[in-house]
Amino acid sequence: MSVSEFDVIQTPLVSEKLHGLSSKGIYGFRVTVNATRVQVKRAVEKVYNVKVDKVNIMNKKGKTKRMRGKIGYTSSWKKAIVKLREGQEITTV
C-alpha cells in the first residue's frame, strides 16, 4: 500500500537545538513508523518545495510510564533529520 507524501510527515519538531541548526539548513520531523529515507526525502521536497541533500532517520523507543500502580509505555515513534541543499530553507507562516 502506497503512502501519500502528505501522510509521511506527521509534525515538524521544535526544539532549541533544531532551531539553532535551521540556519545551517537542518530540520527535524516526526514521521510515520514505516517511512523510509526515500519516502521522507520525496515528502519534504513535495510539501515544502525544497531540494533535500541528506536524510537521517532514527527510531525513538517509547518511555515507561506508571499510572495507578500499573506500568505502561508511551508510543514508539520515528524521527527524521533532513539537511537541505545549500541556499534552501523552509519558511513557516
Q: Express each pLDDT in 41-91 by its tens digit.
A: 999 999 999 999 999 999 999 999 998 889 999 999 999 999 999 999 998
* Residues 72, 65 contacting (CB under 8 angstroms): yes
Domain limits, the chain: 5-84
pLDDT grade for 4, boundaries at 50, 70 and 90: confident
pLDDT at 21: 94
Give the 3-state secondary structure of residue 4.
coil
Q: CATH classification of 5-84 is 3.30.70.330, yes or no?
A: yes
35 CB burial (10 A radius; 0-12, 13-18, 19+): buried
Q: Could you tell me the pTM of the whole model?
A: 0.86
pLDDT at 93 over 60: no
Look at the alpha carbons of 30, 34, 83, 4 in this order and tell me if their dihedral is positive or negative.
negative
90 CB burial (10 A radius; 0-12, 13-18, 19+): middle
Mean pLDDT throughout 14-37? 95
